[in-house]
Chain A
Amino acid sequence: MMNALGKLFSTVMALALLSGLSSHAHADGHEGMNVPTIKSSALMSGLENPWDMAFLPDGTMFFTEKCKGLSVRTKNGTVNALYGMKGSTGYSDSGSDLFCEGQAGMLGVVADINFAKNRTLYLYSTSSKYHGSGCKTNFEKCDGNIVMRFKVSDDLKSVSNRTDIVTDIQYKPFESNQPFGGPGAHNGGRIRIGPGGFLWVAGGDRHRGICPQDGQLLCGKVLRIDGDGNAHPGNNPPEGYDKRIYTYGHRNVQGIDFRPSDGRAFTAEHGPWHNDEITALVNGGNAGWDPAEKRGGRGACPDKYCGYEPKQMDAVDPAVRAAYTPMSDTRFKDLMPAAWNNNGFSQGTGSAAFLKGSNWGVYEGRLSVGIMGIAFGDTPPGSRIDMIDLTPDGMGIRGIVRMPLGFAKRFRGLVMGPDNALYASTDEGEIYKITAE
């Protein structure tokens, strides 16, 4: 009798529990939220540091490899090597002035908005052609990053008519007394076509303290120019600044894209030992990075660069460093506050792309951000792609979801394909196709 009562009690309790769980599962209503199934597959592998990709409407994909050059994967899958760096082999043509060193090399690529008519492609790379006598030390101008324009042949087997439309983005020629102190540091390098077909060029501070806040040097800036390299007539930098500058005060911008709903530019910026940032750009605005010595209450710094201080060679709480040399320094009246700062960590934001297409469901319109993963001190590595829901005013976020890929890689380049899939290049050598259904 007792046994039967016990079974009855257990059954009733189990049903009650199940009922409760069922009710709880419906509580957030997620069944109606159109959460897509996300899948990924390697489109290409065995590449050498693939850095950026650019698509044509038919699925043709141009891609760069940092120390090799520019190639194209045609819509039927064949790969043509188009324009190599100095010393590269197998390319239909090459630039004897193009070289790679440290973080520098062949980086961004993008097709002109009228590619179907003009076959024009833009390419960002490090070049020795414009060094002149300005690269004898790290404290000189040293023009060494350029933007080139090419004409792509109809058969996608060659490029021609190279024209260097920007020749004066600075480069770091020598080692300095900094962590990551090798030559070729902080080049930015992402280029994208924005609203109206203008070309946006993202730069880096090349480990020179004065760069980001200097009005004549292009290091630490985001440029908005036309296809000939001329300033957009609507650029509004401070008085006396180079008119090609759209925003200044940047550290190392490797991600830039334009929000589909309003065309506003957002950058993903790699922080020092702290604060990777997503920032909504304002024409003429200041991102607030100023690593120069003897400013903001600081004294002298190693090689005149305070970007990793204090105690740059030791583990220090990121918040302490952020207070000493902030990524977004509030002493600037024209500061563009960051929308997101990666919880105060620097894990290496490599690129960013807005998710486009209804296939992305609740994630449509979110900014996907590739995090490469760096683990120093107590910072967790965090290699991942985040999907960030930005507020309409661009001043904050409403939420973040980590893209459920099932693996971690150093995600360097992100770009949307014409099929509304996200394509991601990794430092490990792959280009992934990530779909949402």
Chain B
Amino acid sequence: MDGNKNNRFCFYVIFLFCGGVDITRLAKGLLLLFLAGFSGYALSGDKEAGEERYKKTCINCHGPAGKGVASYPKISGKEVSYTKSKLETYRDGIKVGPNSALMIMMAKPLTDEEIANLAAYLEDAKYDNN
């Protein structure tokens, strides 16, 4: 479940359970909302899936395990929130540096789930040929 779907799920929970103004149901709804909000899907991505996605395109510029190559910066070893924020910024088409055009182009098709997975993978990805 990606972030957008997760938000939609939360909305449906509120809609369904609040419609009848049943306090018990409302409590259950809030509990479900709480659980959904703090589920693993919402907070952390899948490292394995992140690595798989990384190898599809990102590796061509940033090198293996995000080590950074040529004039492309190192992107591994960053906090998950940092990487997610950067990718979301690029996906929104916001320029933040001289190579932004490239990153905007690459980030545009990423889903929330892919961003979460990439951020999880890159947090402690290591290149093992050093």
Contact = CB atoms under 8 A, between A and B. Distances in A.
Interface of A: 42, 45-46, 49, 66, 102-103, 175, 178-184, 312-315, 372-377, 381, 383, 410, 412, 427-430
- Best-buried of A46, A175, A315, A428 by chain B (most CB within 10 Å): A428
Which residue, A46, A178, A179, A383, has most C-beta atoms of chain B within 10 A? A179
A103 B71 contact: yes
A181 B105 contact: no
Interface of B: 57, 60-61, 63-64, 67, 69-71, 97-99, 101-102, 104-106, 127, 129-130
Given A175-B98, A376-B102, A427-B70, A46 B130 contact: yes
Contact of A181 (B67, B98, B104): B98
A359 B61 CA distance: 34
Contact of B99 (A179, A410, A428): A179
B69 A428 contact: yes
Main secondary structure of the interface of A (DSSP, over half): loop
Contact of A315 (B60, B61, B105, B127): B105
A410 B129 contact: no
Nearest to B108: A315
A375 B69 contact: no
B101 A313 contact: yes
27 contacts: A42-B129, A45-B129, A46-B130, A66-B70, A102-B98, A103-B70, A103-B71, A178-B101, A179-B99, A179-B101, A180-B71, A180-B102, A182-B97, A183-B98, A312-B101, A313-B101, A374-B60, A374-B61, A377-B105, A410-B63, A410-B70, A427-B63, A427-B69, A428-B63, A428-B69, A429-B67, A429-B129
Given A45-B130, A179-B101, 4 more contacts: A175-B98, A313-B101, A374-B60, A374-B61
